[in-house]
Every structure is written in C-alpha cells, then in structure tokens.
Structure 1
Amino acid sequence: MENKRKVDSKNKAPFFGARHVQCILIFLGTAAAFTQRVNLSVAIVAMMDKNSTNPNFEEYQWSEQTKSYLLSAFFWGYFVTQIPGSQLAHKFGGKITLLLSIVLSGLLALLTPLSVRLGDWQLLFALRLCQGLLQGSTFASVHTLLSKWIPAEERSSLGTFCYSGMAFGTVLMMFVSGWIASSTFGWPGIFYFAGILSVIWGFIWYFVGANTPSECKAMTEAERLYIETAIATTAKPETENEQVTMKTPWLKILSSVPFWMILLTQSTYAWGYWTLMTQIPSYMKSILGQDIQSNALMSAAPYLADLLLTFVFCFLSGFLIKRGYISVVVSRKLFNTIGFWVPIVPLILLGYMGTDRSELALILLIIAVGVNSAGNLGFLINHIDLAPNFAGVLMGMANSAANIMSLLAPLTVGFIVTDAKNVLQWRIVFYIASGMYFVGNLLFILFGQAKIQVWNYPKTRLPQRDERVGI
C-alpha cells in the first residue's frame, strides 16, 4: 500500500512544478552571489592597467602581493560565518538567510568603487571581508532548502542544477566585464552590475521563495504530496516544529568518517577551483598577452563549458541511476573522479604555455574547468545523502574548512608568482592545484559513502532504508 502511494503520487506530480521554480530561483541566487565573488578578479586587471579600461578612471599601482590580499579578503570573512550561518539556516529556514546573504552583500558591491576612492586597497579589503561574512550562510541555506524540496531520485539533476548557478554567474560576469570596463561606466560598472543584479533577485525571491512545500501556496496538492511522501523516509519530522528544534549531533558528525571525506574532498576542490577562478584573468594578461576585452571573453569560455557540461553530467547521472545501471554511491564516486582527475593533465600542461600558444592554452583551460563540473554530482550534494536533516549544517562545516583553502590559494599564488610574466612560477601553481585534485578524489573513492547516517534521525524515529535510491 505504501509503495503504491509513492508510485501514484509520483505519477501525479507535474513534469514542471513549484519545485522547479524554486530551483530556478536558487540557481539565479547562486549566480548573483558568484557575480559578486568574481567581479574583483576581472575588475582588478582593469583597475591596475589604465590602458585596458576607460581612461577617465584612476589606475592603482598595487603590488602582486597586495593584489593577492584583495583577492583573498572575501574568504577571510566567508570562513568565519560558515558554521554560524548554517545554524541560522537550520533554525530559521533557508529562505531568509539566503535572501539576506545575497542582497546585503550586493549592496556592498554597489559601494565598492566609493570605498576604493576613499580608502584605497585597505578599505576595499575591509569591504570584501564584510561581503564574505554576509555570504557565509549562502550554501548552507541552499543545502537546507534542497533537503526540503528535492526528492532523492531528483537530487543529482535538480540539486546540481541549482549549483550550476556558480558557473553561470561566473560566465555572465566575465562576458560583460570587458564591455563594461571599456564603456562610460569603466571598471566601477563591473561592481554596479553585480550589485543591481543581486538586489533584483532578492526582490523576486522574497515574494516567490519558500522554505518548504507546505509554505508554498503556488503549487498543486499532487506535487506537494509527491515531495512530502518522497522525503518522508529520510527527513520528515514527527511534528511540524521538530525539524527546527532538533539538536545538532556535533560529536557524531565529527566522528563520522564519510563526513570527513566530504570535508577533505571539498577542501581540495576549493583550492583548485579558486586558484583558477581568481587567477585566470591575471594569467591571461601576463602569460598569454590578452587585453581586457579578449581576456574577459577567454576567461569566460572555460566557465561556459562548465555550465554546459553540468547539464550533460546531470542528464547522464539521472539516466544511469533511474535505469538502475549504477547506485547512488557509484554515481557520486564516478562523477567525482571525472571532475577531479581528468583536469589534472590539462592543468599541468598550462604551466608550459606562452603567448605563442594562447589558443592551445584556452583549450586546456576549457577542458580543466569544464570537466571539473562533474564534481558537483559527487561531493557537493553528498551532504544531503548522508543527513538530509542536517544537510545545511554539514555544508557549513565542510565549507568552513574548504574556505581555509580558498583563502590560502590566492595568498600562495601571490607568494609564488612574484613576477607575473614568469611562466615557471605559474607552473608551480598549476602543479599544486593538480596535486590537490588527485589526493582529494583518492580519499573520496576509498572512504566516501552515500547512505543515510543513523544520527540523521531524531531519537523518536528509527532509520528506514530508502529503496528508491538504490542504497
């Protein structure tokens, strides 16, 4: 009878419904958040080279070390609020915490040009740090929302789609940055674009977003039943308020080997991802000799490949799981391996490129960054596999550790690359990133899991096996 109810509710669920609308909004929210993170990486090239932007705007003579401080500033704040932000999302729901993190940091993006004029790089550093503090709850909020909205069999496709907003925001920012910097807006327009986009998204999210299906009025009863029935065996509480009052099992989480594998894998991924994210524009200009407009387009191309390949990997993962060809745990490890180990060779080869091989260097970057998106179907949604009730908390803890790497990566580049035109120094940077990817995935293959942990459940409930996801 219970199985029949599951099947019936699934058949009645609309092909496109409220859960898809929520995912689209989350996708756009993560995109807006990433336009704020990436804007400085592309704008700083124009800020330090008057010939590559509108000449009416000031040029700043910052050293490579100062530049590395500025590019890492966001992560100093981002690291601090990961765990507190996850607790806020767990207690109050993901809607309000996601709204505040993106909109408030977007308002600071609007103030960025003024801060540089008033306080040079020191005030800019402080502002970027504050943006990081505000965005510390972003991904914990997204994980909290996904655990309430997305059934297990749709987690690979819809969950990964939401996080592909990271690549979309990056592509969007890099595509428009060259044009904006050369227009009458100059480099300040890059920050205005990110800020305005975030505020507009926040207005829409406030009225349409919802913490849970029960809070969403614009959905059919059939879809609501489908979602709640599908999630009931993993995360649904006994009472309406049990979920928000459930205490976090800190000791059990900290003694969980599968969680530690996510944490370590996510940390190594962060090193490689943010090394490329923050340094590609500088690498393009210094080693490949590209100006701001061609630099922006070439820098965006790898992330466009990231976005497109994400959809390909989502379809492939969903197809393999739903047809029963592979289990969830095999899918997580397979795609994580593709995302981590395939980019290693292109990254190493990048250290041997020069201005005469700019086309080949671009192809290598497209492969490295594009295929890296497969990792989103591995470790990135594995938190929800282990503990749907504490998915946001797990993400906050893992992301806190990962952002130590995000912070250290640009600082390490600044320490190694003292001469931005020295390809030998860049070669060391790419070797380190490749090593991180190799070790991270090896640990995930050996010790990673995708089954729900016993500590996911309140003491009043016993864990039940979810037969639908093949675990």
Structure 2
Amino acid sequence: MDDTEAQAQAHKLLGQKQAAPHKQDSGYIRTLRSCCVIPQRYILGVVGLLGVCNAYTMRVCLNLAITQMVNLKKKNSTHFDPYACPSDVIVGNHTDVIIKPYAIFDWDEKTQGLILSGFYYGYAATQVPGGYLAEKFGGKWTLGLGLLSTALFTFLTPVVIRAGGATWLFILRVLQGMGEGPTMPALMIMLARWVPPHERSFQGALVFGGAQIGNIFGSFMSGILLADGRDWAYVFYFFGGFGILWFLLWSVLCYSTPNTHPYISKKELAYLNKTVTTAETSSLKDPVPWKAILRSAPVWALVCAAVGHDWGYYTMVTDLPKYSHDVLKFNIATTGTLTALPYIAMWICSFLFGFICDFCIKKGWHSIKTGRIIHTTVAATGPAICIILASYAGCDRTAAMVYFVLSMALMGGFYSGMKVNALDLSPNYAGSLTSLVNTTSTFAGIVTPYLIGLLTPDSTLAQWRVAFWVCFAVLVGTNVVYCIWADGKQQWWDDVRQYGYPDGWKHGSLTRDEPVPSEEYRLAEQKAG
C-alpha cells in the first residue's frame, strides 16, 4: 500500500513537472504566438532599424535647428579664387534681411562647433561601458533605456537652452551622447544572439541602414518644422516624442535572446538554437578577454577599417553641404531633395550589397572572410576615387553631384563588410568588441570636421582638393590594412573553453576557473591525440 501511494505521488510530481512548462504556453501566449506570422528575428531587425533611425534623428536635429536659434551677422570678406564657380544667386548692392523671430542667441562659430561636438564626447565615453552592460544584463534594456534617456533629454532641450544657454546645452548634448553610446554595442550583442551567420549581411544592412533613414527623415522633418519662421523648439518636441514612442514599441516586441522571448515560435527557436553560435550559459560568463582582444590582428584590422569608414562618412555628411554651398554655389534653400540623394543611394545599395554577400556565402562561392574583404574594399576605394573625381569635375555641378551620390552608394557596402565583421570574430563578446571599434572610430569623427576646417580656411576648390586627397589616403590606407589582417571566423579567445589557448600564450588565464594549460600538458595532449 505504501509502495502504491509512493508511486502515485511520484507520478503526480512527474505530471506536474511536465505540465509546468505548458502553463506558460497557454492562453495569452498561445494567442500571441499564433498571431506572429513574421519571424521574430525580422521583427527585431525592423524595430532595430527604427531605433537606429531614432538615434540619428536625435543626433542631427540640432544641426538644422541651430541655424534658426542663432542670430549672428557675418562680415563680408573678399578672397580671390581663380577656380571660383558662378553662382545662381544674383546679389545686388544690398543684402536681404531674413527675419528669424526665434533666433535669440548670439553664439559665434567656435561656440556652435563646440556645442555640436559635445554629443560625440559623451558618445565615445559610454561605448565600452555600454558593451559591458549589454553582455551582462542583455541588450534589450541597455539599448532601450539608453535611447529613452536621449529622447527625454531631446524633449527637454528647449527648456534647458532657455534656462542655461550654451553651457547647459553643451552639457545636455554630452548627456545625449552618453545615452546613445550603448546603441551599437547592444545591437551587435542582440544580432549575435538572433541572426545566423549566413543572414548577417542582410540583417546588418537592414538595422544599420536606419542611420541613413534617420539622416533623411531628420533633415526632411526638421525642414518642415522650421519652415515659415516657426519656433525651433518644435523640432526637439517632435523627435523627443518619437523616441519615447519607439521605446514603448521596443519594450513590447523585442527581447535580448530567442530563449527569453515569450512567444517566439518553437520552430524558429529550434532553428536559431541550432544555427546561431554563442556560448551563452551561466558557466561561460567569463570576463571580457581584453588581453587577447588587444593582441588580435583581425581586431585591429577591423578598427582600421572603421576609422577609414568614419573618416569618409563624416567628410561626406558634415562637409558635403558646405562644399555644395561654398564651392559649387548651390542655393541651399532649394536643394533639400538633392542633399538627401546620397543618403537614399547609400541606404538602397546597402540592401543590395547585403543580399549579394549573403547569397554568395550561402552558395559557397566565397567564404565569409572573402565577402567581408570584397565589400569593405568596394565601400572604401570606390568612394575614395569618386570624391577625387568630384573635386576635379570643377564647376560641372551635375558631374560633381553624380560622383558624390555614387560615392555614398558604394559606401553602402560597409554594412555587409566590416560593419558586421564583429559578429563573425566574436559572437559572445560582440558588444565589447563593437564598443572598442566605435570608440576609436568616433574620435575620427571628431577630428575630421576640425581638420577639414583647417585645410579649407577660404573654402576654395583648390583647398577642398587637398582635403579630399587626405580622405582618399585614409580610406585606401586603412582598407589595405584590413585586407591583409581581416578574418571571418570566430576567434579562439571568444570561446577559449572550446578552442583552447594558442601555442606560446603567456598572458594568463582568460576564464574564471580554468588555468592556462602548461606547455608540458599541451605536448602530452598532442601525443595522446
């Protein structure tokens, strides 16, 4: 009788244990799962795209708004330029006075430049901490709360400016940059957990293409909101509110890993657990292997490629409008669409390059490493050549703009090249690796506009040619380094328990509980093998 009762109790406990997981998979969860026809990794891609778009709109909206905030009279200066292009605008003996009722600040060019650069100081400061937090606590809340803070700061910008002027605005921009710093490391962590290797080029183009949408959408909407002398505060209210709405969408739809997603389909979950290579178990939560990362040649090749990319990108984004206005003599008021064309071209081509790269890898036509090198080379040497051709097009404005648009289109290859290479090298520490790469390349973004300003004091065509040749040298030089030392395989230090230590490693253990095997142990293991 006792045995029967014991067996009945055991069956009851076993039944409860087996039924427990199914309690979570009932009712509301089953309804959500049945409604989700689109795979969750693609939903992550789309919402991630909107997040990057949101980040870039909040980053660049001040660039246009500040033109309506500052009321500074410029003194006329004469400088003879033998290569000067004719202007479409006929200027008489008088200057037109444009009334800007909300331009209440008298900030000089130096002050404006400092304010605009404040964002990047904060952005660089939180790259590494952001990657660490994303790896420790998951990318969802690291990214979400970071962008939410930036959205709140953006929404409060008009209040802060009117209360504290330029000083408070600079501090606020630094805080905004700190909020956005974890964006790319956290996204890399999530993509490493969610995207199989043969889909990374397209997904990378999808998510990071949000930067170009942000540039287009931010410029377009800012122009509308600032038209007809409207208050510049509307720009910050709009994009700050947009960021808050995105956070709500992100909180509901996206999760750090497939295994923590409550209503992902069982088919997709099984597929991702089979194809995505990460060592995500509690026993493998080791410290970030900085000693090995900083000694890794593929890592420094990636850093060089990122510096080259940011140098070329910031040259185009920051200074193309200035070149168009000062050298080519475009009427900026009527060329909004023309200014957006390079971003549109880059966004479209990033998808095309991503599809081609994934297709070739899937077909076995080339390896992941070869694909990364090919697309990085196209995205570096192509724009480098195009900007030189644009400078030698002289006053042929059509030819110059065609070259500029083509250069940005080719730059779209970076997303399927070096931009997703961190996922190949280190799926487990992609956040920390991305933070290292972004921190280094962000300084290039700070230096580039300042250096170009030094090289083009009079903004003549001859001076701009020198600046473009410098950009050419940086793009091509960094690409050569990448081609020599790049890799497309998971590095040994990303999962040292699986791959072990390389011969001659003398820099200590990378794990919490495993010593580095001695040379005698390695020799004995080789003999046994």
Report if TM-score (shorter chain) is over 0.5: yes
Q: How far apart are the structure 2 equivalents of 1:280 and 1:43?
A: 18
| Residues 23, 81 of structure 1: alpha-carbon distance in 2 compared, 3 angstrom cutoff | same
| Residues 338, 350 of structure 1: alpha-carbon distance in 2 compared, 3 angstrom cutoff | same
Aligned partner (choices 452, 455, 474) of residue 436 of structure 1:
474
Shift of 1:57: 1.7
Which amino acid letter does the alignment assign opposite residue 312 of structure 1? L
Shift of 1:246: 2.2
Is residue 323 from structure 1 mapped to residue 391 from structure 2 by the alignment?
no
Is residue 309 from structure 1 mapped to residue 349 from structure 2 by the alignment?
yes
Query: What is the root-mean-square deviation of aligned Cα atoms in Å?
Result: 2.4
| Residues 221, 72 of structure 1: alpha-carbon distance in 2 compared, 3 angstrom cutoff | same
How does 1:358-437 map onto structure 2 within 5 Å? 358-419=397-458, 421-437=459-475
Q: How far apart are the structure 2 equivalents of 1:205 and 1:140?
A: 17
Conservation of the 8 A alpha-carbon contact between 2:71 and 2:103: no
Shift of 1:270: 1.3
Conservation of the 8 A alpha-carbon contact between 1:65 and 1:414: no
Conservation of the 8 A alpha-carbon contact between 1:110 and 1:195: yes
Q: 3-state SS of the aligned residue for 2:264? A: coil
Q: How far apart are the structure 1 equivalents of 2:160 and 2:457?
A: 27
What is the aligned residue count? 442
CA shift digits 1:291-340 (9 cap, x unpaired)? 55434322211001111111111111122111111111111000001100
Aligned partner (choices 7, 13, 18) of residue 40 of structure 2:
18
- TM-score (structure 2 length as normaliser): 0.78
Shift of 1:106: 1.5
Which amino acid letter does the alignment assign opposite residue 324 of structure 1? G
Which amino acid letter does the alignment assign opposite residue 424 of structure 1? A
- Greater mean deviation of Cα atoms: 288-297 or 220-229: 288-297
Query: Which residue in 2 is equivalent to 1:137?
Result: 182
Query: Which residue in 2 is equivalent to 1:175?
Result: 220
Q: How far apart are the structure 1 equivalents of 2:221 and 2:151?
A: 17
Q: How far apart are the structure 2 equivalents of 1:447 and 1:437?
A: 16
Percent identity between the two aligned chains: 29
Q: 3-state SS of the aligned residue for 1:388? A: coil
Which amino acid letter does the alignment assign opposite residue 25 of structure 1? V
Which amino acid letter does the alignment assign opposite residue 256 of structure 1? S
| Residues 440, 389 of structure 1: alpha-carbon distance in 2 compared, 3 angstrom cutoff | same
Conservation of the 8 A alpha-carbon contact between 1:103 and 1:202: yes
Shift of 1:271: 1.6
CA shift digits 1:228-260 (9 cap, x unpaired)? 1112xx3133x3x345x3221110111100011
Which amino acid letter does the alignment assign opposite residue 401 of structure 1? T
Structure with bigger helix share is: 1
Q: 3-state SS of the aligned residue for 2:429? A: helix
Q: How far apart are the structure 2 equivalents of 1:60 and 1:392?
A: 40
Aligned partner (choices 362, 372, 377) of residue 332 of structure 1:
372
Shift of 1:209: 1.2
Aligned partner (choices 268, 282, 294) of residue 308 of structure 2:
268
Query: Which residue in 2 is equivalent to 1:43?
Result: 65
Of structures 1 and 2, the one with the larger relative CO (CA 8 A, separation 6+) is 1
Shift of 1:104: 0.8
Q: 3-state SS of the aligned residue for 1:351? A: helix
Q: 3-state SS of the aligned residue for 2:487? A: coil
Conservation of the 8 A alpha-carbon contact between 1:178 and 1:292: no
Where does structure 1 lack aligned partners over 5 or more consecutive residues?
1-13, 464-471
Conservation of the 8 A alpha-carbon contact between 1:18 and 1:218: no
Shift of 1:44: 3.5
| Residues 454, 312 of structure 1: alpha-carbon distance in 2 compared, 3 angstrom cutoff | same
How does 1:155-194 map onto structure 2 within 5 Å? 155-183=200-228, 185-194=230-239
Query: Which residue in 1 is equivalent to 2:289?
Result: 249
Q: How far apart are the structure 1 equivalents of 2:398 and 2:244?
A: 37
CA shift digits 1:22-53 (9 cap, x unpaired)? 11111110110011122233334444579898
| Residues 193, 422 of structure 1: alpha-carbon distance in 2 compared, 3 angstrom cutoff | farther
Conservation of the 8 A alpha-carbon contact between 1:42 and 1:281: no
Q: 3-state SS of the aligned residue for 2:420? A: helix
Aligned partner (choices 128, 141, 144) of residue 99 of structure 1:
144
| Residues 180, 230 of structure 1: alpha-carbon distance in 2 compared, 3 angstrom cutoff | same
Which amino acid letter does the alignment assign opposite residue 122 of structure 1? T
Shift of 1:118: 3.6
- Greater mean deviation of Cα atoms: 184-193 or 318-327: 184-193
CA shift digits 1:340-387 (9 cap, x unpaired)? 000112212343567x54333322221111211101111111111011
| Residues 45, 346 of structure 1: alpha-carbon distance in 2 compared, 3 angstrom cutoff | farther
Which amino acid letter does the alignment assign opposite residue 249 of structure 1? P
Query: Which residue in 2 is equivalent to 1:296?
Result: 336
Q: How far apart are the structure 2 equivalents of 1:154 and 1:55?
A: 50
Where does structure 2 lack aligned partners over 5 or more consecutive residues?
1-35, 73-95, 501-529
Conservation of the 8 A alpha-carbon contact between 1:42 and 1:296: no
How does 1:67-216 map onto structure 2 within 5 Å? 67-183=112-228, 185-216=230-261
Which amino acid letter does the alignment assign opposite residue 222 of structure 1? K
| Residues 335, 393 of structure 1: alpha-carbon distance in 2 compared, 3 angstrom cutoff | same
CA shift digits 1:276-295 (9 cap, x unpaired)? 22223333333344455434
- Give the number of the structure whose alpha-carbon radius of gyration is greater: 2
CA shift digits 1:66-92 (9 cap, x unpaired)? 333233221111111111111111111
Query: Which residue in 2 is equivalent to 1:281?
Result: 321
| Residues 302, 74 of structure 1: alpha-carbon distance in 2 compared, 3 angstrom cutoff | same
Query: Which residue in 2 is equivalent to 1:11?
Result: none
Query: Which residue in 2 is equivalent to 1:453?
Result: 491
Conservation of the 8 A alpha-carbon contact between 2:225 and 2:234: yes
- TM-score (structure 1 length as normaliser): 0.87
Shift of 1:59: 5.9
Q: How far apart are the structure 2 equivalents of 1:293 and 1:189?
A: 20
Conservation of the 8 A alpha-carbon contact between 1:68 and 1:413: no
